[in-house]
Amino acid sequence: MRDDDDELARALAQDLSERATINVLRDDAAELVELLAESAPLPPFGSASAMTTYRRLMSEHQRCCRLQARLRALLG
């Protein structure tokens, strides 16, 4: 009986950990959406500020892709 309780406790802890991770990822995704909204409108093409904005957007895009991959892995 004790083994069953231990197994149940581990399963619950794992579930809570996954839920906490999903909540953090959702918060990160919401922050990403806000960042992307703040970046519009884009500066003139070829300007230094356009390149900085482009680099930032690409960095955020890569971060978003990593977040999506983590979410897919967690949700199966």
Write the secondary structure of the chain as one string of H (helix), E (strand) and C (coil).
Answer: CHHHHHHHHHHHHHHHHHHHHHHHHHHHHHHHHHHHHHHCCCCCCCCHHHHHHHHHHHHHHHHHHHHHHHHHHHHC
pLDDT per residue as tens digits for the range 20-55: 777 777 777 777 777 777 766 666 767 787 788 778
The residue extents of the domains of the chain are 2-75
Q: pTM of the entire structure?
A: 0.42
pLDDT at 68: 80
pLDDT at 56: 82
